[in-house]
Amino acid sequence: MLLKLLLRNAFRHKLRNTLTVCGMCIAILAFGMLRTVISAWYAGVAASSTSRLITRNAISLVFPLPISYRDKIRAVEGVKTVSYGSWFGGIYIEEKNFFANFAVEPKTYLELYPEFIIPVEQQETFLRDRKACAVGAKLAKRFGWEIGDNITLKGTIYPGNWEFVLRAIYAGRDQTTDQSQFFFHWDYLNESLKKSAPSRADKVGFYIIGLTNPDLAARTAVAVDRMFKNSFAETLTETEKAFQMGFVSMSEAIITAIKLVSLVIIVIIMAVVANTMVMSVRERMGEYAVFKTLGFGPWYLTAMILGESLVITCLGGAIGILLTFPLARAFGQAVGDWFPVFNVARETIVMDAAAALSVGIIAAVFPAWRAIRVRIAEGLRRIG
């Protein structure tokens, strides 16, 4: 009987409550999308492995390190594999075609990143061909690239037109794997630099260290940095997660603003739902007085008002959550250049549901308090 009353009361005033449900739906949808943007910002951090370290120049990432450091790092206790690479910064056709592109040591790089899934035949061809490149499936789809295509990047950090042959397209093992990267042989870059700019040859931008045991990360990082202390190119070694967080922290103000906006949206819809419930309770104050006359206590009245509020907010919240997925998919396709990984996380859905429940409960507190406090005679005198 109570459930029947809740459903009838929730839509007794169809227009007002339908608009409130729509407002709740839009609020949850906006809240979920903003939280998804934040999750996308931290996607690189979430995808980081605990078994990988990144070593760079202690001054800044823009300063290179000698290639001779490789063998010394490999000799450190706890190090299993060492790879290296440099940010290339190439442009495809025009500047708006931005994507991450690296020159790497391909064999060890692929060993350290098993989340990049490449067919065996393509991987073997990629490793053999010095001018070969490998790209993510998302990037290949964006430009319509296929295996065997010739791709030319215009260098910014390394001037000139650099020609590559697409030999491999990788897929992501996990949902958080970035499938929009472009990488090629570091030897191809280095051999060209020996001819055009010898002073820039035999240098790398970073080293990637694979650990025998993730628990040795801190000890290994200290050992690597101690080895090159007081040298002409000191190093800073940190976990891959800390390395990624360094980039995220540069835009911390923007992330904080997005978080505040998402909370403001919830506060606004809370006020809207509370207003709807206050109006509903005021209109039915005479009915609540009759319930009191028949012997129904405060808890029953509270359950009726709270239940009505939860029906409105949960219905709007459920619709908003369902609409989040197609909207996030469309948004991710539109901004794929800036957010390579744009997926609705499970935590976002939990936060959406928690927000809907919180709004429903808090919005019903004051109306329920008024209904409980009103005297029977006063309630029966109220008309409308």
Q: How far apart are the first and last CA of the chain?
A: 24
Q: Tell me whether strands 160-172 and 150-155 are parallel, antiparallel or unpaired.
A: antiparallel
Q: Is the whole model's pTM more than 0.95, yes or no?
A: no
Q: What is the pLDDT of residues 51-102, one digit of tens each?
A: 999 999 999 888 999 999 999 999 999 999 999 999 998 999 888 888 889 9
| DSSP 8-state code for residue 151 | E
Residue 383 has pLDDT above 60, yes or no: no
Angstrom distance (rounded) from CA 143 to CA 181: 13
Integer Cα distance of 42 and 59 in angstroms? 24
209-231 pLDDT, tens digit each: 999 999 989 999 999 999 999 89
Write the pLDDT tens digit of every residue in 27-44.
Answer: 999 999 998 888 877 776
pLDDT value, residue 209: 95
Portion of the chain with pLDDT greater than 90, in percent: 47
| Residues 93, 68: Cα–Cα separation, whole Å | 35
Cα dist from 250 to 235, 244, 255, 261, whole Å: 21, 11, 10, 19
pLDDT band for 288, please (50, 70, 90 cuts): confident
Q: Classify burial at 313, counting beta carbons within 10 Å of its beta carbon; exposed 0-12, middle 13-18, buried 19 or more.
A: buried
Model confidence at 244, pLDDT cuts 50, 70, 90, reads confident
Q: Which residues of 157-170 are buried (b: 16+ CB within 10 A; e: fewer)?
A: ebeeebebbbbbbb
Strands 206-211 and 52-57: antiparallel
**Quick one: what percent of the chain has pLDDT higher than 70?**
94
